[in-house]
Amino acid sequence: MIKTVLKLDTPTQESTRLFSNIEFDGNKLTHQPGSVVGGTALIAGTIVGAGILGLPAVTLSSGVVPSTVLLIALWLYTLISGLMMAEVTLNTMRLVGRPNLGLLFIVENTLGFLGARIAAAAYLFLGYALLVAYITRGGEILASAASVAWNVENVLPEWVGIITFTLLFGGMMYFGREQVVEKLNNVFVAILIASFLGILLLISTHLQTAQFLYQDWTAITPAVSVVLVAMFFHNIVPLVVAKMEGDARKIRTCIVIGSGIPLLMFLAWNAVILGSITPDIVQNISNGRTIFDPLQILGSGSSGELLGVLISVFSEFALITSFIGVAYSLLDFFKGIFNVGNNELSKSQSLYLIIFAPPMIVGALNPSIFFTALDYSGTFSVSVLAGIIPALMIWKQREAHSHSNSINQQLVPGGKVIFMAMAVIGFLFMWS
C-alpha cells in the first residue's frame, strides 16, 4: 500500500482530513477514505472480548446497582483518556508530517526515552496477556464445537483447539488484505451483537427481581481491574486515527460510539446474568466455595440447547474481534520499533511470528490460564496505558503548543486540573 500525507490549507476545520490514504491496485492510485463504521466496529470489537465473558465473576458479589455505577464511571474515564490518546496521536502526526505512527513513537516523541520504555513494557505485557486469554478460551470453544459436531466427547486435546484458533485467524490477518479483514471484522461484530441480543431475549425470562435489590458497595474494589481490562481500547487508537485520515470529527465519532455500544452491552449483560443467578450461588461465592463461570451456569440452565449455542457463538466472536484488534495494535507497535513502513515488510512472517507464536505456545502449555491471564493483564498495564500516560502526554503536548505558533487540534475539553485528576486516578487504580 502506498500512502501519502496531504497537508491541508485549513487544518483547523474539524471536518477536514489531515492526510489521504492512497492505495495502488496495480493500475491506478485510488483513495481509501476512512470508514466510520469500520473504525467504530474495530473499537467495539476490541472492547467486547474476554472482559465481558469474565465480568459477572467479579461483579456478582457487589450486586447489579453498584456494578452498574462502576461500569458507567469507568467507561467515562476510559472514554476521556481514549480521546486524550487520539488528540496526542493526531497532533503528533501533524507535527512530524506523516501518518501511521506507532504508540511507542508517539510516547517517545512526547515523554522521551524513559516514558516510552515504561509504556512499551506495559503495552507488551498487556497485549500478550490478552492474546493468551483470547487464544486459550477461543481454542477451547473451537474444540468443544468440533466435539459436538462429531458427536463425541473430549475427542480433541485442548492444545489442538488453541493452535487451530491461532493459525485460522492469525492466518486470516496475514494472508488477507486490510480492507478484507476490516469487512470481515464488521460481519463478526454484527454476528456478535445478534447472538448477544438472542441471549438476552432467552435469559430475560428467568430473571429474579429480588437479585436486583441486593447491594454490597464494599465489594466493588476487586472488580475494578477486570472492568478496566474490559473497557480498554487505547492500543487501537493510533490505528483508528490513521484509518480516519486524521479527521477529528470521524475520530471522535468512532471512539464515542465504538466504546458506547460495548458499554450498553456490558450493562445489559451484567444486569441479566446477575439478575438470573440464584441466592445460593451468591452465598457459595461469598464463602469462597464457588468459582463463577457464567458460560457454564447459563449453558446448563433450563432455557435449552439454543441458549448454549448462542452463548458459544457470542463468546467465540467476542474473542475473535478482540483478537483482531489486539493483534493489529501489536503489529502496529512492532512496525514502529523495527521502522517498518511499506506493505511488503508489514506482511513479513517474522512480525506475525513474534506476535502469535509466544501466546500460542503459552496457551498450549497451560490451556486453563484464561482467568489468570485476564487478571494479570489488569490494573498495572491498563492504569498506565489508559490513564497515566495519556494524561501526561496531553499535558506536555498542550504546554508545548501554548509556547509556539503550531496548530493544536483539541478533542478533549478542559485543562491541567482534568489531566492531573486523570493521572491521579490512574495511580489509585494500580493499588485497587
3-state secondary structure 351-379: HHHHHHHHHHHHHHHCCCCHHHHHHHCCH
Least confidently predicted of 113-127, 232-246, 268-282: 268-282
At residue 15, does pLDDT exceed 50?
Answer: no
The yes-or-no verdict on residue 347 having pLDDT over 50 is yes
Higher pLDDT, 263 or 335: 263
Q: 11 pLDDT exceeds 50? A: no
- CB count within 10 Å of CB 372 equals 14
Question: What's the pLDDT score for residue 337?
Answer: 74
Q: How confident is the model at residue 4 (pLDDT cuts 50, 70, 90)?
A: very low
Looking up residue 160, the CATH number of its domain turns out to be 1.20.1740.10
In one-letter notation, the amino acid at residue 293 is D
Which structural domain range is residue 420 located in? Answer: 35-429
Scan for cell 501466546, then name that residue.
359
Residue 257 confidence (pLDDT) above 90? yes
- Whether 16 maps to a domain, the answer reads no
pLDDT exceeds cutoff 90 at 153: no
Q: For residue 161, give the amino acid letter.
A: G
Q: Which residues touch 6 (CB under 8 Å, ≥6 apart)?
A: 17, 19, 20
Taken in order 239, 242, 244, 248, the sign of the CA dihedral is positive
Q: Is the pLDDT of residue 283 over 60?
A: no
pLDDT at 122 over 80: yes
pLDDT in tens, 167-176: 999 888 888 7
d(CA 94, CA 76): 27
Establish if 18 belongs to a structural domain.
Answer: no
Residue 147 — very low, low, confident or very high, per pLDDT cuts 50/70/90?
A: confident
Query: How confident is the model at residue 88, as a pLDDT?
Result: 93
- Structure confidence at residue 404 (pLDDT): 67
Give the total number of structural domains in the chain: 1
Residue 299 pLDDT level (bands cut at 50, 70, 90): low
Are 353 and 119 in contact, with CB atoms under 8 Å apart? no
- The confidence score (pLDDT) of residue 83 equals 95
The answer to whether position 403 is within a domain reads yes
In a domain, 243, yes or no: yes
**Does the pLDDT of residue 370 top 70, yes or no?**
no
Tell me what pLDDT residue 219 has: 86
Res. 191: pLDDT tops 80: yes
Q: Examine residue 324 and state whether it is found in any structural domain, yes or no.
A: yes
Q: Quick one: how far is CA 211 from the chain centroid?
A: 30
Residue 28 lies in a domain: no
* pLDDT exceeds 90 at position 258: yes
Examine residue 328 and state whether it is found in any structural domain, yes or no.
yes
Is pLDDT at 430 greater than 80 in this prediction? no
Q: In this structure, what C-alpha cell is assigned to residue 250?
A: 470521524
Q: Which residues contact 129 (CB under 8 A, 6 or more apart)?
A: 373, 374, 376, 377, 381
The pLDDT of 269-294, averaged and rounded, is 64
| Nearest alpha carbon to residue 110 among 397, 385, 399 | 397
Domain membership flag for residue 339:
yes
Q: What pLDDT is attached to residue 25? A: 61
